[in-house]
Each structure stands twice: as structure tokens, then as C-alpha cells.
Amino acid sequence: MTERALAQLMKSASPAAQTFVRRVLEQDVATQRWGAQLGPSLSQRDVARLLGKSEQAVAKDGRLLRLRNQDGRPVYPVVQFDGRRLLPGVAEIVDVLNSAVEPLTVASWLTAPNAQLGGRRPIDVLRDGEVAPALALARSLASSVA
């Protein structure tokens, strides 16, 4: 279907249908943007293999950034790993922020450009070995929402 045909259908649809379609499209765009910002994720089993731990140990490890996918299963954003280990500084930041905000907020904060870091993402600051400035900002965020 062409954009023109879709626009014509929207004009002909009821207000309720237009609202529904608009919400579906907005959600799709938001999902795509979030996926592009966060990047791929691993299953609990994959993280266990990656780190050489049991799945139970991974499930209990509060140092890992753990999200839930649409069907409720835990997933772990790849961005937090450096090869076969957790990126230095991630554990401390996850620990600080998990006590103050939801895991999705932690993921968003880690992967969004931050003006206080010169427009760099906290995860990139960690990759550059600069744990202290990212950790200080995480502590500041945690204290501001407490």
C-alpha cells in the first residue's frame, strides 16, 4: 500500500480507528527508536554461557542490567559487556541506579547522550575507561530521585 493510499484510508476512517492507527504507528516508531538506542540483547542462557556461570547465578546477579522483553522473559543488553566480561563500571552504576529507578530507566540513561558528559553516552564513557565521571552522574541522578 502506498503512502497516498494509506493517507486516503485514514481520512475515510472513523475517529476511533484513526486514533487506534495513530497509537499503533507511534508505538512502532518508539519501539524502533528504543531498539536502535539500546541495541541487541541476550537471553539469560546466552549470558550464562558468555560469563561462564549458571543461569541461576546470572538470574541472581544484581550487577547485571536485566530487562524484561515483551513476553516477560529476562534479557540483558549486549552494550553492558566487554567481550566475555561485564564492562568495568557497569556493576557499580547498575547498583546505584537500580535502588532509585526502574531498569528501563537505567538502560535509557546508559545509552542516551548526556550533556554533562559532553554529549557522550555514559556507556561510551565507561568504554573509554572513565568510570568516575559516569559513576558520579549516576549517584547524582539516584540522589535527585530519592
Averaged in consecutive runs of 10 residues, what is the pLDDT profile of the chain (146 residues)?
86 88 79 79 97 96 93 95 96 95 95 96 97 97 89
What is the Cα–Cα distance from 54 to 67, expressed in whole angstroms? Answer: 18
- pLDDT for 145 equals 86
Ordered by start, the domain boundaries in the chain are 1-38, 39-145
- pLDDT for 27 equals 78
- pLDDT for 1 equals 82
- pLDDT for 19 equals 86
- pLDDT for 32 equals 74
Antiparallel, parallel or unpaired: β 74-77 and 67-68: antiparallel
| Per-chain mean pLDDT for the chain | 92
